[in-house]
A and B are shown apart, each in its own frame.
Chain A
Amino acid sequence: MTKYIRRAAALCALLLIALLVNATRIQVLQSRVYDDNPANRRPTIARWGQPRGNIVVEGRPVTGSKDTREQLRYERTYRDGPLYAPVTGFASQVYGTTFLEHAEDSLLDGSDPLLSFLPLWNDITRDRNAGGEVVTTLQEAAQRAAYVGLGARRGAVAALEPATGRVLALVSRPSYDPAVLSGNGPPVAEAWARLNGDAGRPMLNRAVRQTYPPGSTFKVVTAAAALDAGVVTDLDAPTRSPEPYTLPGTSTSLSNEVEGCENASLRHAFEWSCNTVFAKLGVDVGLGPMTDTARAFGFNDSGLRIPFSVAPSSFDTEMDRAQLALSSIGQYDTRATPLQMALVTAAVANGGSLRSPYLVERTTTAAGRTVATRGARTLRQAMNPATARRLRELMRGVVEDGTGTNAAIRHATVGGKTGTAQHGIGNSGTPYAWFIGWAQADDAVEPQVAVAVVVEDAEAVRGEISGGGDAAPIAREVMEAVLRAAD
């Protein structure tokens, strides 16, 4: 019997070995397959198992976390959620993350290896770092001024510091409170459905993700191209342009909404926004130089990140001369985000040098150790410094004598350009009101703020929408807020 007992024991040993080999297979050799299965909740639980790091505006966090004691333990909260929603985006336990919450996700949730003190330390201890902080470049006063200024109207505002590219305000209306999407469960699903079904598209960040026809504000780019190319050398010399202007190769004639554009000087045409003059100027400059200048200002650049991506603004590169004429006054295929038009203004204000826009000043660990900082970087030289100086002069004239007097600020030099962009089939849509501008306090050495405002208001009567009337006062509020903060 002893022999058979030993054989039975050998069978038991075999079973033991099978268990051990299989356990090794699952726990060590193939564990990654199981760990990475999307149905495995463990990464999600770990991600929400600690408070998320905060997004900070001027030293104060605009986000927070609350302990729900549920399986996904910490839920995102927001201070002034709708005000900062275009910047923060949301951090939802169900629907993922957007904007800064998305772009800085690994830092905020603590998984970024840069947060750990020693490399690979967390892989050994199985710990997770506390979420890091994201310090933004926003100015609360400017942000609030833009938000209040737009009020119930649809539109967006982007404001930059021209010398550095720091984003001072980024507002989109209508907005929403991202906190409603933070958690999980039926209320979040309802909020998600409601926000997605809303005709006003509150989750659309119009400042960076929506392109509009820039209308007359694009004349800044056309003027820069004309001055750079030497097509215009004297701001006050007549431009020999007819009124109405017949688009080359067609019988379509272009007219103006203001008087005195025939043969007007560039200064007059800029201050009073003569379509005929700028359409002809664009054609005179030619397609090549026009597209070069537009590209230098940032058009047709699909790689821009601030750190979340910005929808590319477009200036068509293959057009006939009639289309080029329309494009030169910001119509036809030309489209721009509000941030792009703020960049155009900032380049003018900064002597032609375009700074790369950025929203995150620096990132730190929870304890305050700096992880990364972001300084001013030059994107490219958009135009000659001399051209920039002359454009500043033209833009100043718009606010002092022309269509943009609503943007004037006491004790400051303000330059600007209004725009009223037609759109829709046969220009049937309610036009968009634009204002782009910059401001420099009298005691400052350089312009401190560049801003772009667009107001799309479907409910206003068509004739009442205008850049000077609707958009310029908002821009003024934002610029004033920045200048006041600098005092």
Chain B
Amino acid sequence: MTTKAGTTVAADPSDPSPPAVRLLRRRGVEFTLTVVAVLLSMYGYCAVGLAKNGTVPPGAADYGAGLGVLALLAHLVVRVRAPYADPLLLPIAVLLNGLGLVLIHRLDLETPGDQAAPAQLNWSTLGVALFITVVALLRDHRVLQRYAYVSVVAALALLVLPILFPPVNGARIWVRIAGFSLQPGEFAKVLLAVFFAGYLAANRNALAYAGRQIWRFKRLQLPTGRVLGPIVTIWLLSVGVLVLERDLGTSLLFFGLFVIMLYVATGRTGWIAVGLLLACVGAVAVGWLEPHVHSRVEDWLHPFASIEAGEGPGQLAQSLFAFAAGGLLGTGLGLGHSVLIGFAAKSDFILATAGEELGLAGLSAIFLLYALLVERGYRTGLALRDPFGRLLAIGLASIVALQVFVIAGGVTGLIPLTGMAMPFLAQGGSSVVTNWIIVALLMRLSDSARRQYDRHDGPQDRAAAFGRGA
């Protein structure tokens, strides 16, 4: 990923001028990769049209132009306001969002009465607009630390809000206002990550070193009641969300996020033990007591039970059929039958379409794109110096990682299925907007990380911090 010009100049010891600051920005790389991402998405769009109707779809140019303009605007703002930001984040986001639009459009062709792609494009536009806003207006991420407690209050409010609304398909996670369906829980993730980062950055020493030891091992040191309080609160919150909203995925995500951030902040394995214990107790209890969650576990253990009962394949079975039909190379875009999954084929089960039509090869590529996104987040966390920034970067990247694991593991039968959106890929306005905000925050964080090295450190440190040495 190093630009040719960059390595040449930086590696040339005879160059008398100080290391060129501009050359680290790598905005050219970002631009090129973004163009590639837009072209790949356009190619996918055309492939769907060719497979389904034998012609290049008439809207291909418009689609490409729309996605291209959005990507270009985002790129220009990054160029001006976050010139040091990581060059991979934006292209990955554009590619995943573009691919998601292609897959949703592809499924729209099978369901003429239910067109989801236009709305998804609008939401993507809004997401990019928010991305631009965040990158343009948020000059320093440390500002956010001041709003940690405001964030947690807002997050709680957003989480409680859907309880006032009627459940949709068994889960109370939706808010319907003026024809729009919103999932406030999606936004709450970011706010909670901000809160955790702020709270842990402020209290990590107290959490790490106070408390009494069980046995003589420091590893099993338990914290004092005062610091334990907020953690138990969060655990209760997760279980509360689970029970009241029947949303196993979100509660799993919150709790996993919290445990990871706590561990990173304190380095106490004891926390992990306590966290896992609490998670197990909560999961087992709810799994037994809550019928909605219980049936999900049953489906996971016996995906073909409904077939044996003569009721035809359930969603998970259909999803597994779709993945299996894809094989190594897939059927090709537009040539699969993942629409058999029926309900939620465009949202929770979007990955099955990718798996069937792009095969294991395409699916692995998508997983690796997510992995790269997460990896860039973690690298940013490593490069940053302030604890809040580090924790925020780790938190945001972990949200993506956990979310991908929970839903991808769910639709492939690795873990019990929980309703959750595949970041950028799945139909869902709240989700796509939230993910653009996450990427925007990561852009801002990585910009800060690189900027600081650029101002204060020599090239060796830089090299150590970015890629080669790290």
Residues of chain A touching chain B, judged by Cβ–Cβ distance below 8 Å, are 1-9, 11-13, 15-16, 18-20, 22-24, 26-28, 30-35, 37-42, 45, 126
Contacts and interface: CB of A to CB of B under 8 A. Distances in A.
Given A3-B267, A19-B405, A31-B324, A26 B412 contact: yes
A8 B393 CA distance: 12
Given A35-B324, A42-B321, A28 B360 contact: yes
A22 B267 contact: no
Given A23-B364, A40-B321, 17 more contacts: A1-B267, A4-B263, A5-B382, A6-B382, A8-B260, A8-B263, A9-B375, A12-B371, A12-B397, A22-B413, A23-B323, A26-B413, A27-B327, A35-B325, A37-B317, A39-B304, A39-B312
Contacts of B375: 9
A43 to B, nearest CB: 10
B264 A40 contact: no
Dominant SS among interface residues on chain A: helix
B387 A1 contact: yes
B20 interface: no
B398 interface: yes
7 contacts: A19-B412, A27-B324, A27-B328, A37-B304, A37-B321, A39-B312, A42-B337
Contacts of B355: 23, 27
Contacts of B374: 12
Interface string B201-216: 0000000000000000
A24 B360 contact: yes
Contacts of B409: 15, 18-19, 22
Given A23-B363, A37-B307, A16 B371 contact: yes
A9 B378 contact: yes
A27 B360 contact: yes
B321, B359, B374 interface centre (most CB from chain A within 10 Å):
B321
A430 to B, nearest CB: 44
A8 B394 CA distance: 9
B415 to A, nearest CB: 9
Interface in B249-266: 260, 263-265
Contact of A30 (B312, B324, B378, B398): B324
Q: Could you tell me the dominant secondary structure of chain B's interface residues?
A: helix
A274 to B, nearest CB: 61
B398 to A, nearest CB: 7
A481 B80 CA distance: 91
A8 B378 contact: yes
B378 A27 contact: no
Contact of A8 (B264, B326, B328, B337): B264
A15 to B, nearest CB: 4
Nearest to B308: A39
B149 to A, nearest CB: 23
A39 B322 CA distance: 12
Interface string B368-387: 00110011001001100001
Given A23-B363, A27-B323, A5 B401 contact: no
B352 to A, nearest CB: 10
A28 B374 CA distance: 27
Contacts of B359: 27
Contacts, number: 124
B331 interface: yes
B390 interface: yes
Given A5-B390, A39-B312, A42-B337, A28 B413 contact: no
B360 A5 contact: no
A8 B363 contact: no
Given A18-B414, A41-B337, A27 B363 contact: yes
A28 B327 CA distance: 5
B75 to A, nearest CB: 27
A13 B325 CA distance: 27
Considering the complex of A and B, which 7 residue pairs feature the smallest CB-CB distances, nearest first?
A: A34-B324, A31-B324, A39-B307, A27-B360, A39-B313, A15-B405, A12-B401
Contact of B412 (A9, A23, A33): A23
Given A16-B371, A27-B355, A126 B260 contact: no
A23 B313 contact: no
Contact of B323 (A4, A9, A26, A39): A26
A19 to B, nearest CB: 5
A18 B332 CA distance: 25
B327 A40 contact: no
Nearest to A32: B324
Given A19-B414, A37-B307, A5 B328 contact: no
B264 A4 contact: yes
Contacts of A2: 382
B367 interface: yes
Interface in B275-331: 304, 307, 312-313, 317, 320-321, 323-328, 331
Contact of A20 (B264, B323, B325, B367): B367
B412 A22 contact: yes
Contacts of B367: 16, 19-20, 23
A151 B414 CA distance: 64
A5 B378 contact: yes
Interface in B211-264: 260, 263-264
B340 interface: yes
A23 B382 contact: no
B378 A42 contact: no
A41 B381 CA distance: 47
Contacts of A9: 375, 378
Contacts of B337: 41-42, 45
Contacts of A38: 307
B198 to A, nearest CB: 15
Contacts of B433: none
Contacts of B364: 20, 23
Contacts of A41: 337, 340
Contacts of B263: 4, 7-8
A35 B412 CA distance: 15
Contact of B326 (A4, A18, A27): A27
B408 interface: yes
A185 B408 CA distance: 35
Contacts of A30: 324
Nearest to A30: B324
Contacts of B312: 39
Contacts of A33: 324
B327 A31 contact: yes
Contacts of B381: 5
Contacts of B320: 26, 34
A16 B400 CA distance: 12
A27 B404 CA distance: 18
A33 B413 CA distance: 14
Contact of A28 (B328, B370, B387, B408): B328
Given A20-B364, A34-B320, A37-B304, A5 B394 contact: yes
Contacts of A45: 337
Contacts of B307: 37-39
A6 B382 CA distance: 8
Question: Most chain-B Cβ atoms within 10 A of its Cβ — which of A19, A28, A35?
Answer: A19
Contacts of A15: 401-402, 405, 409
Nearest to B397: A12
A313 B340 CA distance: 48
A255 B404 CA distance: 91
A252 B115 CA distance: 84
Given A3-B267, A20-B364, A41-B340, A34 B414 contact: no
A385 B302 CA distance: 69
Contacts of B360: 23-24, 27-28
B328 A12 contact: no
Contacts of B408: 19
A3 B268 CA distance: 12
Nearest to B261: A8
Contacts of B402: 15
A9 to B, nearest CB: 5
A397 B331 CA distance: 69
A375 to B, nearest CB: 41
Nearest to A16: B371
